[in-house]
C-alpha cells in the first residue's frame, strides 16, 4: 500500500506569485488549464496501490480548497484529505507532525512532493528504482541535471556513480558542489520518521539550553533538506534517481507560463482532448493551445485560456495565460503575459512581457528565480494583470505588474502599478 503527501505551504509563502495569489491560493492557480495541484494528484492516482493522498499546509481551510479537493477525490477515485499545520513547520516538520495520519493503515512507502514543481512525475520509475537499490529502508530523492551556475540555487547532490547513493548533500551552496539538483519529490519508507524524530529531540534539547528562545524557533520546525538529507548522506540510506524528463520550479508568475508550456507539450500524449484544433470559422491555433469557443483570431503557441473568456476578431495571443472571465477586444495583442480574472483589454491595445525562459542552447539550463528588482530597476519579465483590470483601447502595457481593480488611462512600461 502506498500514500502520497503534497506540501502546499501557506499564505505568507508564495509572495513572488503576487498579485495572482491575492485571488486564489498559489497551489490552485491554473497551469495548463487545471490547478497546479491537480497535476500532482493525477500522477499519484495512476499508481495502482495508492490508498490516500494527504495535502499538508497552513492555509486556512476555505471553500475553494475544499471544493477542489472534493472534486479531485471524485474525479480520480482516491481518498484526498487536507491537514492544516498550526504554523509553518518546514518540509520535515509538517510530515512529522502528522506522522500518525501518514502511517495509519500501514503503508510500505509514501511519496512526499512540493506543490510548486512541475514535472512528468516519474513515480513508478522511482518505486522500481527503490526496489533495485539498497534495502527496504532506503529513501529516494528525484534528481535532475542543471548547469554549474544555476545549480547554486538548488539543493546539490554528490552521488556514487556506480550505486546512485547520495554521498553528500548541500542546500544552495555558495560554491559549485554538483550539477545534480534536488527536484523536491521524494520516496520514503516509514523509517524516515526515526531520523526526523532524532532531529526533533535534538531541537528540544537545544531549546532547553537556550535561556530565551524566540517565538519562531520551535522544536517542530524541521527542514528535510538541511536537517535530514545532509545527515543521511553517505550512510547508505539515501539514493538519487536521476530523470532526463522535464522538470521546473514554479516560484514566480513568470515560471507559471513556462510550466504551462511544458504541460501543454505533454498533453498531446496524456490529454489530447484538452488541446484546441483548427476549425473552420474558429481561431487559428499555432502549436499546443488550450482554448474555448472564440472568434477568428490567431492563438498560440503555448496559450491557455480559461472558461468564460471573450475574445474578439483579429486578436493575437502568444505564450500567455488568460484567466476566467477575461475579455480581449478586437485586434488586441497579448504576448508573454498573464491576464487576470475578469480583466478587459481594449481594442488595438497591446499587453506584452519579456519571457524568462531557460537558455534554449543549454540542455541543462533551468528557469532563473528572477528577482523583482535589479540595480534599482524593475527586472523585465512577463506582464501580469491582476483581477478586474481595465486596459483602454490603443494603449501599450510593457513589462509591468498591475495590481487588481485598476482602470488604466495611459501606457506604462517597466512599472508596478499600485
Whose CA is closest to 278, among 263, 288, 270, 266?
A: 288
User: Each residue of 162-195: pLDDT tens digit?
Assistant: 888 889 898 888 889 888 988 999 999 899 888 8
pLDDT band at 223 (very low <50, low <70, confident <90, very high): confident
User: Each residue of 363-375: pLDDT tens digit?
Assistant: 777 776 666 666 6
Instruction: List the Cα angle 292/298/304 in 5-degree steps.
Output: 40
pTM attached to this predicted model: 0.88
pLDDT band at 215 (very low <50, low <70, confident <90, very high): very low
Amino acid at each position: 500500500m502506498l500514500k502520497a503527501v503534497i506540501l502546499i505551504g501557506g499564505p505568507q509563502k508564495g509572495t513572488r506569485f503576487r498579485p495572482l495569489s491575492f485571488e486564489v491560493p498559489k497551489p490552485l492557480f491554473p497551469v495548463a488549464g487545471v490547478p497546479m495541484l491537480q497535476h500532482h494528484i493525477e500522477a499519484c492516482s495512476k499508481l495502482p496501490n495508492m490508498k490516500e493522498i494527504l495535502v499538508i499546509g497552513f492555509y486556512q481551510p476555505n471553500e475553494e480548497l475544499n471544493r477542489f479537493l472534493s472534486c479531485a477525490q471524485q474525479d480520480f477515485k482516491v481518498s484526498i484529505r487536507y491537514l492544516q499545520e498550526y504554523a509553518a513547520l518546514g518540509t520535515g516538520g509538517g510530515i512529522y507532525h502528522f506522522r500518525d495520519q501518514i502511517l495509519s493503515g500501514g503503508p510500505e512507502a509514501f511519496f512526499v512532493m512540493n506543490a510548486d514543481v512541475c514535472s512528468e512525475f516519474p513515480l513508478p520509475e522511482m518505486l522500481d528504482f527503490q526496489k533495485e537499490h539498497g534495502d527496504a529502508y532506503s529513501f529516494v530523492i528525484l534528481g535532475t541535471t542543471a548547469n554549474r551556475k544555476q545549480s547554486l540555487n538548488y539543493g546539490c547532490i554528490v552521488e556514487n556513480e556506480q550505486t546512485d547513493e547520495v554521498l553528500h548533500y548541500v542546500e544552495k551552496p555558495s560554491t559549485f558542489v554538483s550539477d545534480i539538483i534536488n527536484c523536491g519529490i521524494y520516496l520514503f519508507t516509514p523509517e524516515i520518521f526515526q531520523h526526523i524524530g532524532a532531529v526533533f529531540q535534538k531541537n528540544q534539547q537545544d531549546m532547553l539550553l537556550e535561556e530565551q528562545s524566540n517565538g519562531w524557533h520551535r522544536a517542530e520546525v524541521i527542514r528535510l533538506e538541511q536537517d535530514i538529507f545532509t545527515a543521511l548522506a553517505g550512510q547508505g540510506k539515501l539514493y538519487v534517481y536521476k530523470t532526463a524528463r522535464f522538470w521546473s520550479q514554479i516560484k514566480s508568475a513568470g515560471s507559471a507560463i513556462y510550466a504551462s508550456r511544458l504541460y501543454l507539450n505533454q498533453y498531446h500524449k496524456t490529454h489530447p482532448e484538452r488541446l484546441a484544433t483548427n476549425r473552420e470559422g474558429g481561431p487559428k491555433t499555432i502549436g499546443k493551445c488550450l482554448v474555448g469557443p472564440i472568434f477568428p483570431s490567431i492563438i498560440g503557441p503555448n496559450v491557455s485560456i480559461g472558461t468564460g473568456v471573450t475574445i474578439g476578431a483579429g486578436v493575437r495571443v502568444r505564450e500567455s495565460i488568460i484567466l476566467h472571465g477575461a475579455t480581449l477586444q478586437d485586434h488586441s495583442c497579448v504576448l508573454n503575459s498573464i491576464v487576470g480574472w475578469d480583466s478587459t483589454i481594449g481594442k488595438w491595445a497591446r499587453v506584452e512581457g519579456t519571457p524568462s525562459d531557460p537558455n534554449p542552447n543549454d540542455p541543462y539550463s533551468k528557469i532563473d528565480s528572477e528577482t523583482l528588482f535589479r540595480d534599482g530597476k524593475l527586472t523585465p519579465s512577463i506582464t501580469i494583470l491582476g483581477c478586474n483590470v481595465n486596459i483602454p483601447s490603443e494603449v501599450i502595457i510593457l513589462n509591468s505588474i498591475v495590481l487588481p481593480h485598476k482602470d488604466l488611462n495611459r501606457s506604462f512600461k517597466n512599472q508596478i502599478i499600485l
